[in-house]
Structures are given as structure tokens and as C-alpha cells.
Amino acid sequence: MVKALWNGVEIAASSDTVIVENNHYFPKGDVNSSYLRDSSYHSTCPWKGEASYYSLEVDGKVNKDAAWYYPVPKKGAEVVTDRVAFWKGVEIVVE
């Protein structure tokens, strides 16, 4: 089981993460969407494509752009389809 924790709260938990470039990508269904807030931020990975972001909100505290996903990954990066990864202080715990 892999968990994503921020601000003392479990944001995601899954036994089906995929590791790409040292990041655990969680299936969207295993992420608690009540903590996700849409962000207007985007970035581009040369081989995965354009990433979209979520900010996390827990107990009134916001971690801006702390989660990302690829709405339409490029060919060869399909493994991240419908998956979310975290950074910016989100703790990833492997049990």
C-alpha cells in the first residue's frame, strides 16, 4: 500500500501505483477528490505531454499546484493515463 499524506491527512492510498521518474502515480479513483482544487497551472514534459495541476486544500490550508496529471499523455506515456502524482511537501509512504 502506498499513501500520499499532506497536513496530517491521507489524500490518496493505493496498492496500484505506477512509478515514473521516481514519482508514484495513483489511480484517480484512489485519490480523495474532496481535497483537490482545479488549478490553471500547466507544464510540459517532452515525452509525457502537457500536465494539468490540482492544488490541495486541507483544513483551510492550501498547497498550490501540489498534484499533477496528464489529461492526454503522449504516445509511449499511456501508463500515466487517469493517474495523479504529488510533490511540494506531500509525503509518500510505502507500507
Q: Could you list the residue range(s) of the whole structural domain that residue 32 is in?
A: 2-94
**DSSP label at 7?**
T
Q: What is the pLDDT of residue 33?
A: 98
Q: Give the pLDDT confidence score for residue 94 in this predicted structure.
A: 97
CATH code (residue 28): 2.170.150.40
Q: What is the value of pTM for the model shown?
A: 0.96
Instruction: Output the pLDDT for position 57.
Output: 98
* Residue 30: predicted pLDDT: 98
Report how many domains make up the chain: 1
Mean pLDDT per 10-residue segment, the chain (95 residues): 97 98 98 98 98 97 98 97 98 97
pLDDT of residue 58: 97
β-partners of residue 44 are: 50
Helix (H) or strand (E) holding 2: strand 2-6
pLDDT at 37: 98
